[in-house]
Amino acid sequence: MNPSDNLIEAQELSPLEVLRQYRAHDFTLSAFLAARVAQHPDKPALLFEGETWSYGELAARIARTAAWLSHDMHIRAGDRVGVLSANHPSTVVLMFALAQLGATLVPANPDYRLDEALYVFEHAQICGLICSPNTLDTAAAVVSQLGGDVWLRANEAGGHGQALTGESEADTELRAEAASTAMIIYTSGTTGFPKGAMHGQRGYVLTAEAFVGRMHLQPNERVMCVMPLFHINALMYSVGGALACGGCLVLVRRFSASSFWRLAAESGATEVNLVAAAGSILARRPREEFVPGHRISKMFIAPQTSEMVSAMRHEFHVARLIECYGMTEIPGVIANPFHGPHKLGTMGLISRHPDPDISPPQARIIGEDGKDVAAGDSGELLIRTPTLMQGYYRDTAQTDAAFRDGWFATGDLVRQDDDGYYVFVARKKDVIRRKGENVSGAELDRVFGEHPAVEEAAAIGVPAELGEEEILLAVQLRAGWEVGATELVDWARDRLAAHKLPRFVVKVDQIPHTPTHKPAKHRLKADACLLARATDVAG
């Protein structure tokens, strides 16, 4: 440990001390934010493209927007309003304004095509839609097809003017309850149509406050948000975490690897959350893009690779990289402890709320017989947590199917090591059955992704001549690099058991992704030409 770290830690407030700076609240978003505003109304709350809002200014904008929604747009408790936009302060304002009314935010990926956006917003039964100027055409088409009284506004100057500039000063009745649904986040839809995970206001606040504990966020924190605001990580960890500690949210429209370090240095950001793909991209970017004067000292990122960790710590001088585990349905459950030990390649330990009176998450690992597995064995991870979703919107069957006797079934196969750390094995639906053995597609993605010529890899199962499956590996090579299929498989022989080595290798221009930047393996499997183009390494 760097000697300066000891000084930093000695001056550090504990997570519980950070939260207890603020008055008690009722676990609604309005009361949660009001406690921060009362404590420091003039402190910076949000920074976006050179403009800074104080806590008092943020609260005032939320109040005006809530009045506009209530009096002009006739939003009532239980109504749902969609968002189709890159990151913008209006989404943060809208979330809190809707929550004040007991209404619900439904954010979607701004890169959605018409059919994708239409499915989400039609299923969510929205009564209004906020878009950015560059998504206006798609948003207008969605509203046209939805028909009825669904309204459309833009969040910046554009074809429909500015949406969130309501100037009504009329008092707005506070209709929020802790049990009110704050947001519906649609899952990536890797195995079918997306499902809308509903999260209540209490769950949001608990997750935000728990993130203060996971990352030991301090009152002077500047949390840089580059992940999209249709993602649970950005909405609950970045936005919620920044406000929970009384820090400042540094909001960025979109992740840009080339400008990341410059923006970090200019904004004074101290913490950032990233997906693994973004971390790997940064680790491989030209070093002249790095800005030594940045203040980022901690990152929340998973899964991690040794290459990523080495670059971040030794070249980019980020002291702590916290590896974790989460799902849209169960935010804030498992993470590596902030002060360690940090175990690369693990999900970590149960991550609880700083307040000891808040029940901690619970976990079980069960086998196919439904019973707890023996120590060290792998099985499906089940979770109970105060931050659990309320269910899938308008989908009782999928909600019921997601639970086992009151425990949420993650669909992930995991095991615990000798120290109790949870280790990810595979998605149940990402297991390839080959010659009587189960092979984790995620493991192959990770191993082949570490080859110096490989930008990204994705392994899928394809039908075998004699039943079960063979392994096909799709690889996206780094610009300017080349490697043969046989050479690539030979490289992995010392890293993988023989039955895990792919039989087929195919080079692709780009690995397709889900909206949360996971390999969209269902799209690879649906590509009938993929196997025909692949090299048969065994042949």
| pLDDT band (50, 70, 90) for residue 175 | confident
| pLDDT band (50, 70, 90) for residue 1 | very low
| pLDDT band (50, 70, 90) for residue 2 | very low
Rounded-to-integer distance, Cα 430 and Cα 439, Å: 9
Strands 298-302 and 80-84: unpaired
Order of strands across the sheet with 248-251?
A: 51-54, 44-48, 248-251, 222-225, 271-275, 298-302, 320-322
How many residues belong to the chain?
Answer: 539
Indicate if the pLDDT at residue 7 is higher than 50: no
Rounded-to-integer distance, Cα 57 and Cα 78, Å: 27
For every residue of 127-177, DSSP letters joined together read SEEEE-GGGHHHHHHHHHHH-TT-EEEESSSSTT--SS-------------
Given a contact cutoff of 8 angstroms between Cβ atoms, the answer to whether 251 and 47 are in contact is: yes
> pLDDT by residue (tens digit) across 70-110?
999 999 999 999 999 999 999 999 999 999 999 999 999 89
Q: What is the pTM of this model?
A: 0.85
Indicate if the pLDDT at residue 160 is higher than 50: no
Distances (CA, A) of 223 to 215, 287, 515: 11, 23, 22
Residue 167: the pLDDT is 53
Contacts of residue 140, Cβ cutoff 8 Å, sequence gap at least 6: 152
| pLDDT band (50, 70, 90) for residue 159 | very low
CATH of region 435-536: 3.30.300.30
Indicate if the pLDDT at residue 199 is higher than 60: yes
Contacts of residue 166, Cβ cutoff 8 Å, sequence gap at least 6: 64, 65, 67, 68, 69, 72
Most distant CA atoms of the chain, gap in Å: 75
> pLDDT by residue (tens digit) across 429-466?
888 888 767 788 888 998 899 999 999 999 999 988 76
Mean of the pLDDT values across residues 515-539? 87
Rounded-to-integer distance, Cα 331 and Cα 231, Å: 11
Mean of the pLDDT values across residues 355-378? 96
| pLDDT band (50, 70, 90) for residue 517 | confident
| pLDDT band (50, 70, 90) for residue 169 | low
Rounded-to-integer distance, Cα 424 and Cα 24, Å: 37
Indicate if the pLDDT at residue 308 is higher than 70: yes
Instruction: Name the more confident of 482 and 113.
Output: 482
Residue 10: the pLDDT is 47
Indicate if the pLDDT at residue 354 is higher than 60: yes
Residue 176: the pLDDT is 87
Highest mean pLDDT among 213-217, 280-284, 307-311, 434-438: 213-217
Residue ranges covered by each domain of the chain: 435-536
As a whole number of Å, the end-to-end CA separation of the chain is 51
Burial 437-469 (b: 16+ CB within 10 A, else e): eebbbbbbbbbbbbbeebbbbbbbbbeeeeeeb
Instruction: Name the more confident of 468 and 379.
Output: 379
Mean of the pLDDT values across residues 202-211? 98
Show the beta-strand stretches assigned E in 328-453.
Answer: 334-335, 349-350, 362-366, 379-384, 391-392, 403-404, 407-416, 422-427, 431-434, 437-440
Rounded-to-integer distance, Cα 521 and Cα 525, Å: 6
**Phi, psi of 535, rounded to the nearest 5 degrees:** -90, 130
Residue 4: the pLDDT is 36
Mean of the pLDDT values across residues 419-424? 96
Mean of the pLDDT values across residues 489-507? 91
| pLDDT band (50, 70, 90) for residue 158 | low
Given a contact cutoff of 8 angstroms between Cβ atoms, the answer to whether 154 and 133 are in contact is: yes
Pick the closest to residue 33 from 114, 107, 93, 81 (CA basis).
93
Indicate if the pLDDT at residue 371 is higher than 50: yes
| pLDDT band (50, 70, 90) for residue 62 | very high
Residue 515: the pLDDT is 66
Q: Is 436 exposed, middle or buried (0-12, 13-18, 19+ CB in 10 A)?
A: exposed
Which residues are 477's β-sheet partners?
A: 454
Residue 15: the pLDDT is 98
> pLDDT by residue (tens digit) across 403-420?
999 999 999 999 999 999
Rounded-to-integer distance, Cα 280 and Cα 456, Å: 9
Instruction: Round the average pLDDT of the chain to a whole number and report it.
Output: 91
Residue 161: the pLDDT is 38
Given a contact cutoff of 8 angstroms between Cβ atoms, the answer to whether 491 and 472 are in contact is: no
